């Protein structure tokens, strides 16, 4: 999920948002807060999802307007500036919610397991998968069929030309950022169900998410999903043989090797630009 949000901002806009991990955290805290307000656990998650999307999305928008819009010419600098943003957000979360993590109870209908393909799937995992698929589907539909989606794609492929044709690239930038951050927020709700909330939650996800995006091919939704799946499976497979930490090392090493062999990722957009 985080990777999906990233692929949108990074891929579509060339903006490296290191604060995306913190939008995950924001999403997780939104899930926690809605649970405080709407105490009926079964319902609160249903409210938490759109809430997290909107809150994280708005934060992303704020970030875009206040910081990132000045830096489209300097993609590497956005990386560093957003590192600063993520530091501030983390400390803020710690001051507001306390350093101790807060629990997010899973609704009753997510307990228990179901047997699919001969494997006992916990509902919660299925929920995450379904959530990711729905988000993917929706995103894909928006990008492909809506006029706005066409505008986004046009902007990505040739900003000047799109502008000439009357596309307001400023608006496109803002909305893309909103969508990307919002998706991260929704991802945060899913993570809250798996591991609860804590202020440093985002940092553990951000780098793997970036790698997944790059491996998948920047700006490629299908690539992102495939890469996320491949990295996940590879790590799980390796843990069967060696310790968890070594499996992570090897997974990273494989990614690095893969990227040196095929730096453009699994899928690429063909363009005629020199770079």
Partner 1 sequence: MRNRSALRTAAPLIAGLALVASACGGDDEATPSASDAPADTEAGGSAAPAGTAAAGDICVEGDTVKLGFLNSTSGPMAISEQTVRDSLLLAAEEINAAGGILGKQIEPVEEDGQSEPTVFAEKINKLLTEDGVAAVFGGWTSASRKAMLPVVEGANGLLFYPVQYEGLEASPNIYYTGATTNQQIIPAMDFLASEGVETLFLAGSDYVFPRTANKIIKQYAAELGIEIVGEEYVPLDSDDWTTQVAKIAEAQPDFVFNTINGSSNVGFIKAYDEAGLGADNSPIISVSIAEEEAPAMGVDLTGQYAAWNYFQSVDSPENATFIAAFQAKYGADRPTSDPMEAAYTSLYLYKNMVEKAESFCVDAVNASSDGVSFAAPEGLVTINGDNHHIAKTGLIGQINADNQFDIVWSSEGPIEPDPFLEGYSWWDPNQN
Partner 2 sequence: MTLTTTRSANEPGGGADPAVAPPAHGRRRASPARLLDTYGSLIAIGVIAVVLLVWAPSSLSQFRLDNLGKYCALALASMGIGLAWGRGGMLVLGQGVFFGLGAYAMAMHMKLEAAGPGGVPDFMTLYGDGTMPSWWEPFRSAPFTIFAIVALPAVVSFILGYAIVKRRVKGAYFAILTQAMAVAFATLLIATIKQTGGFNGLNTFSTVFGHNLFDPEVKRNLYRVAAGLVVVFLLVLWQLYRSRYGELLVATRDAEERIRFLGYDPANIKLVAFVIAAVMASIGGAVFVPIAGIISPTNVDASASIMLLAGVALGGRASLFGPVLGAIAVGYGRSTLSETFPTQWTYFLGALFIVVIVLLPGGVASLWPKLRSRWPSPTAETPANGDHDVDRSQPAVPA
Q: How far apart, in whole angstroms, are the C-alpha atoms of residue 111 and residue 180?
A: 29
CA distance 138 to 129: 14
The Cα–Cα gap between 204 and 28 comes to: 14
Q: Min. distance of Cβ 114 from partner 1 in angstroms? A: 12
**Candidate residues 124, 153, 159, 174; the one interacting with partner 1 per rule CB under 8 A:** 124
* Cβ proximity to partner 1, 28 vs 221, nearer residue: 28
Please count the CA atoms within 13 angstroms of the CA of 274 that sit on its side-chain side.
Answer: 0
Q: Residue 39 binds which one of partner 2, partner 1, none, with CB within 5 to 8 A depending on kind? A: none
Least Cα distance to 264 among 210, 230, 218 occurs for: 218
Task: Indicate which of partner 1, partner 2, none lies near residue 81 (CB less than 5 to 8 Å, by partner kind).
Answer: partner 2
Asked if residue 16 binds partner 2 (CB under 8 A), the reply is: yes
DSSP state of 196: -
List the single partner that 103 binds among partner 1, partner 2, none, CB under 5 to 8 Å by kind.
Answer: partner 1
Site string for partner 1, 186-225 (x = CB under 8 A): -------xxxx-x-x--xx---------------------
Number of residues interacting with partner 2: please give it, by CB under 8 A: 44
Q: Is 158 in the site for partner 1 (CB under 8 A)?
A: no
Cα(231)–Cα(251) distance, rounded to whole angstroms? 7
How far is Cα 75 from Cα 97, in angstroms, rounded to an integer? 32
The upper half-sphere exposure of residue 113, i.e. CA atoms within 13 Å in the direction of its Cβ, equals 8
Q: Which of 66, 91, 146, 168 is the binder for partner 1 (CB under 8 A)?
A: 91
Binding partner 2 (rule: CB under 8 A), the pick from 67, 126, 136, 154 is 67
Here the tokens at position 192 are: 């809250």
Site for partner 2 in 149-208 (CB under 8 A): 203, 207
**Which of partner 2, partner 1, none is residue 120 near (CB under 5 to 8 Å by kind)?**
partner 1
19 with 210: CB under 8 angstroms?
A: no
73 binds, among partner 2, partner 1, none (CB under 5 to 8 A by kind): partner 2
Long-range contacts of residues 75-78, Cβ cutoff 8 Å, at least 24 apart: 75/14, 75/15, 75/16, 76/16, 78/15, 78/16, 78/17
**Residue 263 within binding range of partner 2, rule CB under 8 A:** yes
Tokens of 14: 């060339």
Q: Which of 9, 35, 86, 151 binds partner 2 (CB under 8 A)?
A: 86
Chain residues in the site for partner 2 (CB under 8 A):
10, 14, 16, 67, 70-71, 73-77, 79-81, 83-88, 90-91, 95, 203, 207, 210-211, 214, 243, 245-246, 248-249, 252-253, 255-256, 259-261, 263, 273-275
């Amino acid at each position: 999920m985080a990777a999906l949000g990233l692929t949108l901002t990074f891929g579509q806009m060339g903006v490296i948002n290191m604060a995306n991990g913190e939008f995950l955290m924001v999403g997780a805290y939104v899930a926690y807060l809605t649970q405080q307000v709407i105490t009926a656990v079964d319902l609160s998650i249903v409210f938490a999802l759109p809430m997290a999307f909107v809150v994280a999305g708005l934060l992303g928008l704020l970030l875009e307007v206040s910081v990132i819009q000045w830096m489209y010419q300097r993609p590497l600098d956005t990386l560093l500036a957003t590192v600063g943003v993520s530091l501030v957000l983390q400390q803020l979360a710690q001051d507001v919610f306390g350093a101790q993590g807060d629990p997010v109870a899973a609704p009753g209908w997510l307990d228990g397991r179901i047997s699919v393909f001969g494997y006992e799937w916990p509902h919660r995992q299925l929920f995450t998968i379904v959530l990711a698929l729905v988000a993917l589907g929706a995103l894909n539909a928006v990008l492909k069929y809506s006029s706005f989606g066409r505008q986004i794609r046009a902007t990505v492929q040739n900003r000047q030309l799109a502008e000439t044709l009357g596309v307001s690239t400023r608006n496109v930038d803002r909305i893309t950022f909103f969508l990307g951050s919002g998706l991260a927020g929704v991802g945060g709700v899913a993570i809250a169900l798996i591991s609860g909330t804590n202020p440093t939650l985002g940092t553990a996800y951000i780098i793997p998410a970036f790698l997944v995006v790059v491996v998948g091919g920047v700006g490629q939704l299908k690539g992102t999903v495939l890469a996320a799946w491949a990295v996940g499976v590879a790590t799980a497979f390796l843990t069967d043989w060696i310790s968890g930490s070594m499996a992570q090392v090897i997974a990273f090493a494989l990614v690095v090797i893969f990227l040196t062999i095929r730096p453009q990722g699994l899928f690429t957009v063909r363009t005629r630009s020199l770079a």
